[in-house]
Structure formats: structure tokens, C-alpha cells
């Protein structure tokens, strides 16, 4: 009974430092926007005390949940494209050293370009709407998946492939029975990193003339001088990003 009772206490003790850090961050936020800022400072509009009411107002207007849904849909489609392209490309680079050596300069060049730098080209190609946003999300998240997949393939023990070949395994059987199970961890790591980058890129990408999504809602609130709503949407973006990363960690870390 003592051991069972001690477990909840340990869980609470583990969360106390995190809750304290969150409380300290909110307190510092309030100090900067309420005590440090001057009486007429615009900074006061961004205080934490305004956020709950602003979120409630966005919910009452029926705009927050639809914008969240649209942003999540764009994120999901962009990530799906990134995985569909990134895993096969990573396999190709990892399995063929000559190919990797040949394309390495191109890959390094492309991945060092900020995804948002492609925004004018994306708009020129796809126009205004979902497509350029999805393109930028995919462009942002594909490289961690490619590089982690390739690194995972290179880290496979050659002896495993030798044993598989000695038992007469075909190339397809080696891929499905040895390579893919062995690179599960690196691919998951690449996906999680890509997810974080994609979420960061998604919001500014939604400021490219679209009329929905969390990025658009920030601009819309700014144009209405509703700075409390600007801060509220920023907080929602942070909370969703934290939730997505936590969910990915829980799901992907399963054995």
C-alpha cells in the first residue's frame, strides 16, 4: 500500500517544477506588460489577464475552432506529402552511397534555404489558397525526414543484411523485413522534428492572402486593433504546438 500510495505523490512532485516554471513565466509576462509598461503603452493590451476573455470572444464569434481545424488540415496534408516524398528519398540516399555523394551538395543547398523564402514562388505557382500553404509546410518538414531516414539506413548493421541474403531474401524482403523495421526510430525522430518545423512555418504561411487559419486570424485581429485577440491567438498557437509535440512523443515512443 505504501508503494502504491507513493506513486501519485511522485507524479505530483515531478509536475511541481514544471507548474512553477509556467507560473513564473506568466508572472514575468504580467510584470512586463502591466508594471513595467507605461500607463499609455500599447504593451498593456498584450497582458495575460486579457487572454481568457479574448479567447472566449473568439469562440463566441465562431471563428477560433474553424481556424484551428483549417490550420490542422493544412498541417496534416503538408506532413503527409513530406513523409511520402521524404522516406523514399532518404532510403535512396542511405542505400546508395554514390547517389548520396552526388546529390549531397544539392540537398545541403536546398535545406539551408528558409522555407518561407519560397513563398513568392509558391504563390506564383499555386495562387492564393490552401496550395501554397501546404507547399511551404511540406517544404519545411521534408528535410528532417529525408536526413534522418538516410542516417537510419546507414546505421544498419551490414551483418543483418548479409544474414538476410544468405537465407535467400529478395531485395523487397530485405527492405520490408530488415531495413524498414531498423529505421523506424530515425524516421519517427525525423517526423517529430519535421512536425515542429512545419507548425512554426504554418502560421506565417497562412498570412499569404488566405482568409482562414490561425495565421490569418492574427492579421485579422491586428487590422481590427484587437491586440488582446492577437495575443490570445498566439497563446493558442503555442498550446496547440505543445500538445502536438507531446502527442507525437507519446505515440511515436511506443514500442
Which band of pLDDT confidence, cut at 50, 70 and 90, is reported for residue 171? confident
Give the chain's end-to-end CA distance (angstroms, integer): 30
How confident is the model over 82-102, as a mean pLDDT? 90
Closest to 146 measured CA to CA, from 113, 189, 98: 189
Phi first, then psi: what are they for 98, rounded to 5°?
-65, -40
Is the pLDDT assigned to residue 1 strictly greater than 50? no
Domains and CATH numbers, the chain: 49-230 (1.10.3720.10)
Judged on CB neighbours under 10 Å (0-12, 13-18, 19+), 183 is: buried
What pLDDT digit, counting tens, does each position of 143-162 carry? 999 999 999 888 887 777 77
Is the pLDDT assigned to residue 181 strictly greater than 90? no
Specify the pTM.
Answer: 0.86
Q: Report the phi/psi class of residue 71: left, alpha or beta, with left for phi > 0 and alpha for psi in -120 to 50.
A: alpha
Give pLDDT, residue 18.
82
Q: Which of 23-37, 140-154, 181-195 has the lowest mean pLDDT?
A: 23-37
In angstroms, the CA 252 to CA 142 distance is 18
Question: Are the CB atoms for 150 and 187 separated by under 8 Å?
Answer: no
Is the pLDDT assigned to residue 7 strictly greater than 80? no
Amino acid at each position: 500500500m505504501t508503494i502504491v500510495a507513493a506513486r501519485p505523490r511522485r507524479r505530483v512532485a515531478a509536475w511541481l517544477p514544471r507548474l512553477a516554471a509556467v507560473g513564473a513565466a506568466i508572472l514575468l509576462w504580467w510584470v512586463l506588460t502591466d508594471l513595467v509598461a507605461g500607463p499609455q503603452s500599447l504593451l498593456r493590451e498584450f497582458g495575460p489577464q486579457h487572454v481568457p476573455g479574448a479567447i472566449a470572444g473568439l469562440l463566441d464569434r465562431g471563428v477560433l475552432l474553424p481556424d484551428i481545424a483549417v490550420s490542422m488540415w493544412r498541417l496534416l496534408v503538408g506532413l503527409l506529402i513530406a513523409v511520402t516524398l521524404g522516406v523514399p528519398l532518404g532510403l535512396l540516399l542511405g542505400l546508395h552511397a554514390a547517389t548520396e555523394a552526388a546529390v549531397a551538395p544539392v540537398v545541403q543547398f536546398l535545406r539551408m534555404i528558409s522555407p518561407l523564402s519560397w513563398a513568392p514562388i509558391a504563390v506564383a505557382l499555386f495562387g492564393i489558397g490552401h496550395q501554397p500553404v501546404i507547399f511551404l509546410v511540406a517544404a519545411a518538414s521534408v528535410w528532417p525526414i529525408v536526413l534522418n531516414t538516410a542516417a537510419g539506413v546507414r546505421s544498419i548493421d551490414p551483418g543483418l543484411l548479409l544474414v538476410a541474403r544468405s537465407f535467400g531474401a529478395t531485395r523487397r524482403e530485405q527492405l520490408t523485413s530488415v531495413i524498414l523495421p531498423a529505421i523506424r526510430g530515425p524516421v519517427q525522430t525525423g517526423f517529430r522534428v519535421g512536425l515542429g518545423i512545419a507548425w512554426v512555418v504554418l502560421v506565417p504561411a497562412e498570412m499569404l492572402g488566405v482568409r482562414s487559419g490561425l495565421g490569418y486570424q492574427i492579421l485579422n485581429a491586428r487590422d481590427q486593433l484587437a491586440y488582446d485577440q492577437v495575443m490570445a491567438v498566439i497563446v493558442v498557437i503555442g498550446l496547440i504546438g505543445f500538445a502536438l509535440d507531446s502527442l507525437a512523443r507519446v505515440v511515436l515512443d511506443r514500442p
